[in-house]
């Protein structure tokens, strides 16, 4: 699938081409863009502001700001090639027929996307292109490998363990090397209508946050500006730290350091400002001839985790849901809007949890282990709320909110799939103390608590009244009491998970058994083996 051509047009002719930017918001390692430039006389680089983003997903202001920054950066890079970015508003299936006719388009190129909505959308657009006599070419460059090929190599099923995934990709060899960004030589015979004087051209400009309906009044300083140039700058900066790169082990990094203890390149890979293959091969160059850490904990290992969850999302039906998901344990989660709101709005009464959720809302990024802690707290650890609810909040607030990774990690952290040691529960008090005894991270994100001595900053409710008064923060008035009694509820929830696992095992042994249904819970669940025999790539 590395060179897909579903053309109806003729070869060798000078094309008028639309390159459709979606996630691959970059010029480097963009084979679909290079395909657009071949035999091209006119190029229209297009980004579509799809109302689906507004209507079907909740996108937070930090994600919008990152996207706008990435589009501005992309437009700037295109202008250096005597081109520009055309931002079009509307549904792709409604936009493209108009653009095909208006610009007399003969070729459409784009980067392959494996998400269910994207596959459905692209199928519709491809059909429309055929009807208009437009050649369609799409290329794989958002992932390290062809995801469908990985599934084929695993007998038509998604590998359900990381080790199995690694074994398969070893047989495929290393990822393809990235290709360079186009230069003026590649575009010397290609024109793009770039006049800024006409109203026609102005309507294709990049919108501001205000024009996108965002309230910027309370927007904080941007920690991670969007765009390809910033992505490459950060990559260069990290690759110069050869000792750190070679010794990197994800579990040894800190979830609550005052500055990130990891690369924070994930948002740039998610939006396609940085190619995963470029990241991979830059790491390979650094590793060359040196002793280094290995997957799953190394930086190469992190990219393979990404590949693992992408593959799972393609091969497993209903991957972002509990019901109808054959690998997901069916758990009778509680529905508790008050608990959910307290978690989302950093009002749980556990300072470490609330500090993490505050950082998430303010900056759009939190350390992977901090994600572990707050996800466990919401689900199997303390609140017993469905991982699907947490998935929605992360989708809204995380700069690196990625459909496949978000769904996969929430299933993992809730011990619903992939990870099954549900008896290992993160303490909302002790876990943060391991790497930040003084609570400096809490003081940064919850300044209300900054005057509490280290002895009490993780458990302010234990501080004597006099210390609370001296700190200027009375628990129960200025800061909430703990929403749950962790020591008690976590033990109870372990027992609840035991029951869910026992029920799953019982169903696996007797797939035709019909247990009593409870509202909101899909009880009839065939075994993983039975379900995975049924190949379903569409979802």
Residue stretches of the annotated binding site: 262-266, 302-309, 400-402
Place of tokens 């609570």: 439
Residue 147, CA atoms < 13 Å, CB-side half-sphere: 26
Rounded Cα gap, residues 32 and 26, in angstroms: 11
Residue 377, CA atoms < 13 Å, CB-side half-sphere: 32
Q: How many CB atoms lie within 10 A of CB 132?
A: 17
Rounded Cα gap, residues 451 and 470, in angstroms: 8
- CA-closest candidate to residue 436, choices 255, 251, 262: 255
Rounded Cα gap, residues 54 and 315, in angstroms: 27
Place of tokens 């003969």: 106
Rounded Cα gap, residues 17 and 35, in angstroms: 10
- For residue 284, give Cα distances in angstroms to 210, 231, 246, 339, 511: 42, 18, 10, 45, 46
Known binding-site positions for FAD: 262-266, 302-309, 400-402
Instruction: Decide if 29 contacts 179 (C-beta within 8 A).
Output: yes
Two tokens, residue 110: 């784009």
Two tokens, residue 81: 């090639």
């Amino acid at each position: 699938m590395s060179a897909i051509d579903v053309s109806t047009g003729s070869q060798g002719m000078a094309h008028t081409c639309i390159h459709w930017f979606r996630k691959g918001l970059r010029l480097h390692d963009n084979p679909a863009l290079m395909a657009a430039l071949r035999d091209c006389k006119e190029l229209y680089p297009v980004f579509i502001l799809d109302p689906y983003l507004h209507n079907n997903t909740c996108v937070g202001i930090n994600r919008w700001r990152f996207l706008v920054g990435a589009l501005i950066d992309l437009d700037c890079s295109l202008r250096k090639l005597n081109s520009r970015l055309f931002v079009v508003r509307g549904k792709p299936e409604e936009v493209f027929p108009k653009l095909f006719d208006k610009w007399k388009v003969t070729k459409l190129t784009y980067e392959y996307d494996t998400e269910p909505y994207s596959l459905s959308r692209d199928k519709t657009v491809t059909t429309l292109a055929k009807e208009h006599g437009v050649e369609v070419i799409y290329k794989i460059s958002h992932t390290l490998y062809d995801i469908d090929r990985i599934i084929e190599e695993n007998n038509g099923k998604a590998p359900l363990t990381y080790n199995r995934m690694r074994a398969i990709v070893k047989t495929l060899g290393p990822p393809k090397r990235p290709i360079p960004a186009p230069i003026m030589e590649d575009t010397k015979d290609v024109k793009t209508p770039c006049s800024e004087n006409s109203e026609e051209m102005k309507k294709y400009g990049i919108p501001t946050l205000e024009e996108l309906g965002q309230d910027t009044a309370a927007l904080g300083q941007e920690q991670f500006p969007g765009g390809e140039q910033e992505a490459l700058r950060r990559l260069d900066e990290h690759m110069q730290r050869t000792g750190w790169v070679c010794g990197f082990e994800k579990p040894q990094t800190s979830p609550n350091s005052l500055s990130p203890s990891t690369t924070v390149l994930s948002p740039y890979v998610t939006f396609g400002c940085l190619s995963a293959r470029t990241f991979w091969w830059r790491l390979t160059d650094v590793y060359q001839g040196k002793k280094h850490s290995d997957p799953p904990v190394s930086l190469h290992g992190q990219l393979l985790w990404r590949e693992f969850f992408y593959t799972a999302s393609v091969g497993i039906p209903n991957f972002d849901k509990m019901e109808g998901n054959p690998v997901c344990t069916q758990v009778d989660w509680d529905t508790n809007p008050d608990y959910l709101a307290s978690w989302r709005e950093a009002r749980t009464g556990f300072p470490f949890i609330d500090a993490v959720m505050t950082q998430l809302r303010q900056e759009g990024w939190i350390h992977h282990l901090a994600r572990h802690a707050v996800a466990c707290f919401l689900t199997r650890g303390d609140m017993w709320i469905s991982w699907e609810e947490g998935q929605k909040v992360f989708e809204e607030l995380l700069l690196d909110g990625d459909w496949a990774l978000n769904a996969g990690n929430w299933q993992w952290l809730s011990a619903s799939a992939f990870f099954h040691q549900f008896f290992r529960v993160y303490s909302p008090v002790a876990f943060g103390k391991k790497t930040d005894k003084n609570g400096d991270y809490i003081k940064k994100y919850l300044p209300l608590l900054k005057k509490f001595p280290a002895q009490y900053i993780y458990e302010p409710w234990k501080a004597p009244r006099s210390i609370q008064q001296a700190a200027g923060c009375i628990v129960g008035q200025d800061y909430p009491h703990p929403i749950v009694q962790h020591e008690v509820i976590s033990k109870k929830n372990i027992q609840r998970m035991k029951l869910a696992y026992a029920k799953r095992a019982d169903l696996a042994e007797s797939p035709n058994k019909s247990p009593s249904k409870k509202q909101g819970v899909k009880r009839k669940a065939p075994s993983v083996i039975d379900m995975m025999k049924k190949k379903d790539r569409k979802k």
